[in-house]
Chain A
Amino acid sequence: MSGNKVEDNVDHASNSKGISLPMTRVKLIMKSSPEVSSINQEALLLTTKATELFVQYLALSSFLNGSGKDKNTLSYSDLANTAEETETFQFLTDILPRKILVRDYLKSLEENPVEEADN
């Protein structure tokens, strides 16, 4: 039988209500935000479920948006591109910087030189 603690209830929920993410960990992440004092059970449940939906949405959107060589593989650049191009995912652009090759960057520097002090 479940105890009375919120964590017990939510863990039970995690097992039996179609959620595949650990709620206690979700709670930890939530609490690490500044000024968050307490979170009720419903809020935790909704956040966890929403996170699941978010992962699916991000994964599928990026997969379908794939423009790399291998259209059947979801790659990092698919994610980065989707974040840039989709308004809802704009908040991710800081942690999903687009990757470029050194030689391409150096080439672009040649074409658009950064102003040097000694020039």
Chain B
Amino acid sequence: MSIVLYQLNVSLIADAVFQSISIEGMFFSLTDDGDESLHDHEEGNGSKENFREQDIYLPIANVARIMKNAVPQTGKIAKDAKECVQECVSEFISFITSEASERCHQEKRKTINGEDILFAMSTLGFDMYVEPLKLYLQKFREAMKGEKGIGGVSVTEGLGEELTDESFANQLPAGIITADGQQQNVMVYTTSYQQIPGVQQIQFS
């Protein structure tokens, strides 16, 4: 049986058969300076916030589904990879949010808006998302006005070869708000974003 360690500078944690909760227990008993925990990458060791952003995650099922659609169809994803991406996601959200928040404060505003987010993305190295996101936002606004019947958009144009378009292209759920104000949700299957003339409603019971 081999023991796998997480190397954090010079601190070691024993893992393998010891799962989540007992990891930290093992950690403290093995090292001299037991201040750093797996999740602690902030400066203040003494400060304990009730709700650290690292502790809130998006549901793993959703995350796993997106991952699965992103890799080639025959590819597999290890369980610990899914869990770890789940944590990375929270980190990413916080990362973007802090940057956006800072800009917001600098401009003496209280509410973070779309521009702040886009600016943060650009600053933090995700500028390749900016154009597709702007496009997405535009389509969203148009769809919300109820003028166009088909929502969803393929945002792969600006992203190079790093993303497949399968996750966007296969399925475009569309909310259609009809003239009398009622809403119908239909599924529109298409291979790329385009207006399909003559197709107003497809009902799947």
Contacts and interface: CB of A to CB of B under 8 A. Distances in A.
A36 B114 contact: no
A47 B136 CA distance: 12
A73 B78 contact: yes
B88 A75 contact: no
B75 A30 contact: no
Given A26-B58, A39-B111, A43-B117, A59 B151 contact: no
B40 to A, nearest CB: 9
Interface of A: 1, 12-13, 15-18, 20-22, 25-26, 28-30, 32-33, 35-40, 42-43, 45-47, 49-63, 70, 72-76, 78-79, 87-88, 91-92, 94-103, 105, 114
* Size class of the B contact interface (CB-based, 8 Å): 35 or more
A18 B172 contact: yes
A73 B10 CA distance: 30
A94 B98 contact: no
A57 B70 CA distance: 8
A59 B168 CA distance: 15
Nearest to A30: B97
A102 B5 contact: yes
Interface in B113-172: 113-114, 116-118, 121, 124-126, 129, 132-133, 136-137, 140, 143-144, 151-153, 155, 159, 162-164, 167-168, 171-172
Contact of A99 (B7, B105, B111): B7
B74 interface: yes
A53 B164 CA distance: 11
Contacts of A75: 78, 80-81
Interface string B15-53: 100000000000000000000000101000000000111
Contacts of B168: 18
B108 interface: no
B177 to A, nearest CB: 10
